[in-house]
Amino acid sequence: MPNGHGGAVRFFSVIVLLIFAAALLAYVTQGGSEWAVYAGYGLAVLIGERFAHHLHLWHVDEYDGAYATDAEKAGARTTYLVGAVIYVLGALVAWNFLAA
Tell me the pLDDT tens digit for each residue of 7-51: 678 889 999 999 999 999 999 999 888 888 999 999 999 999 999
pTM of the model: 0.85
Cβ burial 46-77 (10 Å sphere, 16+ → b, else e):
bbbbbbbbbbbbbebbeeebeebeeeeeeebe
Q: How confident is the model at residue 4 (pLDDT cuts 50, 70, 90)?
A: low
**What digits encode the pLDDT tens for the residues 42-85?**
999 999 999 999 999 888 887 777 788 889 889 999 999 999 99
